[in-house]
């Protein structure tokens, strides 16, 4: 029998648990000529801010062993332009659309949420809480600000609000719980890891902003650990993210506690990868005679005592 890949994520029915991660899939519709977008569980757009942003100067990307660094700087067309043609094209694909939103201040998050709230084509808002605030501090490194951003967007939004968290915090369970208590309907664990690289031929940093975010296979074990730590304290679902390149990686995140996963850098390597990951999950379920993907969440076989 064919395994059932459907999952329910924060009340949203997904045909499978694989989403495109923000910023690595354009606004979502641009890949239509390369892959059957209809096969994806849901599309998460690149992060949108209230005003358009040009992003950071080049170089904005650098390869490192096992992954990559980026400092795109939230380049985007701004929320008012997004709800025009891009949203119309996205809606035609026929999969749920999660819009990623960021801001430098609580007010900026709320302003964008207000514009988005009148569009029924949007299934969820993912709050990118890993961007710097006006004092150059990462939003989700400030627990009270994180809670306030979530509360203010929840007041406005008619759709589920997912808090995307930075993994570089002392206690990811505490941060996830704060997001849940503020009203988040789900959490994404996790965004990139702060990192840097220097070219030893020129002695120059490889990124224009010196530091950026690390992603790709090298971060996977750290993000799986973060999901595993947050899962026991949460009632809301986790969207696992970090270094997923295969069905096996996706299943690993789900066994650690994720209800669904999002695929980032792997889509930059090849647009086909996200489809291969969906097929890979199905193959593993069939081989193991597991009837549904939803049954994987938190089912790590933990025979040893943990200290």
Ligand X SMILES: Cc1cc2nc3c(=O)[nH]c(=O)nc-3n(C[C@H](O)[C@H](O)[C@H](O)COP(=O)(O)O)c2cc1C
Residues in touch with ligand X (CB under 6 A): 21-24, 46-47, 68, 70, 72, 74, 100, 128, 164, 191-192, 215-216, 219, 241-244, 263-266
Please state, in angstroms and as integers, the Cα–Cα distance from residue 203 to each residue in 197, 207, 210, following that order: 10, 12, 12
Strand 124-128 to 161-165 pairing: parallel
Query: Minimum distance between the CB of residue 131 and ligand X, rounded to whole angstroms?
Result: 8
Q: Which is nearer to ligand X, 3 or 116 (CB)?
A: 116
Name the token pair of 209: 């902003």
Query: Minimum distance between the CB of residue 186 and ligand X, rounded to whole angstroms?
Result: 14
Query: Minimum distance between the CB of residue 140 and ligand X, rounded to whole angstroms?
Result: 11
Q: Which is nearer to ligand X, 59 or 290 (CB)?
A: 59
Query: Minimum distance between the CB of residue 307 and ligand X, rounded to whole angstroms?
Result: 29
Q: Cβ neighbours of residue 204 under 8 Å, at least 6 residues apart? A: 198
What's the rounded Cα separation, in Å, for the pair 67 and 61?
A: 11
- Compute the C-alpha angle 100/102/108, nearest 5°: 130
Q: What is the DSSP letter of 279?
A: H
Residue facing ligand X at closest CB distance = 23
Q: Which is nearer to ligand X, 36 or 55 (CB)?
A: 55
Per the residue annotation, which of 131, 140, 218, 241 is the catalytic one?
A: 131
Q: Which is nearer to ligand X, 167 or 205 (CB)?
A: 167
State how far Cα 91 lies from the chain centre.
19
131 is catalytic: yes
Q: Cβ neighbours of residue 83 under 8 Å, at least 6 residues apart? A: 115, 116, 119
What residues are paired with 128 via a beta bridge? 164
Query: Minimum distance between the CB of residue 151 and ligand X, rounded to whole angstroms?
Result: 20
- CA-derived radius of gyration, the chain: 18
Name the token pair of 160: 């589920």
What's the rounded Cα separation, in Å, for the pair 185 and 164?
A: 11
Q: Which is nearer to ligand X, 20 or 180 (CB)?
A: 20
What's the rounded Cα separation, in Å, for the pair 4 and 116?
A: 32
Catalytic residues: 131
């Amino acid at each position: 029998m064919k395994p059932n890949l459907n999952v329910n994520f924060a009340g949203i029915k997904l045909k499978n648990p694989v989403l495109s991660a923000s910023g690595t899939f354009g606004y979502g519709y641009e890949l239509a000529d390369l892959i059957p977008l209809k096969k994806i569980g849901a599309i998460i757009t690149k992060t949108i801010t209230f005003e358009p942003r040009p992003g950071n100067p080049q170089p904005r990307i650098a390869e490192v062993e096992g992954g990559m660094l980026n400092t795109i700087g939230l380049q985007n067309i701004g929320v008012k332009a997004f709800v025009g043609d891009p949203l119309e094209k996205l809606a035609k694909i026929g999969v749920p659309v999660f819009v990623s939103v960021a801001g430098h201040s609580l007010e900026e998050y709320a302003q964008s949420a207000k514009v988005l709230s009148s569009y029924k084509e949007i299934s969820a808002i993912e709050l990118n809480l890993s961007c710097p605030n006006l004092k150059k501090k990462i939003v989700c490194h400030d627990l009270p600000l994180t809670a306030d951003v979530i509360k203010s967007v929840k007041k406005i939004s008619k759709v589920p609000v997912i808090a995307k968290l930075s993994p570089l915090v002392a206690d990811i369970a505490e941060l996830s719980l704060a997001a849940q208590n503020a009203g988040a309907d789900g959490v994404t664990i996790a965004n990139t890891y702060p990192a840097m690289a220097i070219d030893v031929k020129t002695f120059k940093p490889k990124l224009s902003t010196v530091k950026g975010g690390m992603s790709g296979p090298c971060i996977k074990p750290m993000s799986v650990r973060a999901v595993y730590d947050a899962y026991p304290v949460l009632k809301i679902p986790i969207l696992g993210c970090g270094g997923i390149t295969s069905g096996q990686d996706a299943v690993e995140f789900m066994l650690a506690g994720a209800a669904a996963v999002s695929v980032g850098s792997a889509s930059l390597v090849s647009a086909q990868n996200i489809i291969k990951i969906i097929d890979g999950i199905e193959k593993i379920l069939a081989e193991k005679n597991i009837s549904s993907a939803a049954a994987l969440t938190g089912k790590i076989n933990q025979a040893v005592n943990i200290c």
